[in-house]
Amino acid sequence: MTNAISKDAVPLLSPGAIHVHHDGMQWREHLLRLPEGFSFEMLLLCPGAWVKIQRRQAAAVRRFDRVTAIAHDESWIARDLLVVDASEQGVHLLGRASDKQMLKPPSDVWEDEFHRIQFGGDGFEIVSRTTHRRVIPVVYASLDAAKRGYVHNGLGQIEGVP
């Protein structure tokens, strides 16, 4: 039995999702926000997912750089993954299972028949239940703030929210 990951099922990492945290004398440290559904195993086993990042010089990582990756829903973080090989074709990371730390996922949600307020990776967003897209281009820091935004933007009323 194998735990093979289909390369077709692995999303490509966006150059906009990686940021230099520290540019040192010998290596750099990066923060990478992963797309929805991207797993720790994909980071270690799918070097081709990095192709878009590696083709943009400003975003590309180099050998011996360190990467900290945060899951889309912020349920886990992988710290100090070592770049052991990097080219335009992809990135090979060195990491151990203990590099992945589980975090408490924001599980609060609110919904009515038309909209859903959910955590979207960078904050709480108001999403249409039919199109599954953001209704307004604003992300809120908390569920309560998103509920106030829902009412303020005229999307509906919520009991107990002014």
Q: Which two tokens stand for residue 80?
A: 């100090």
Residues 16, 161: Cα–Cα separation, whole Å? 35
Q: Which residues of the chain have pLDDT under 50?
A: 1-2
Q: Write down the pLDDT at residue 150.
A: 93
Question: What 3 state SS string does 10-65 have?
Answer: CCCCCHHHEEEEEECCCCEEEEEECCCCCCHHHHHHCHHHHHHHHCCCCCCCCCCC
Q: Write down the pLDDT at residue 6.
A: 65
Q: Write down the pLDDT at residue 1.
A: 38
CB neighbour class for 160 (10 Å; exposed up to 12, middle 13-18, buried from 19): exposed
Q: Write down the pLDDT at residue 5.
A: 65
Q: Write down the pLDDT at residue 13.
A: 97
Q: Write down the pLDDT at residue 8.
A: 66
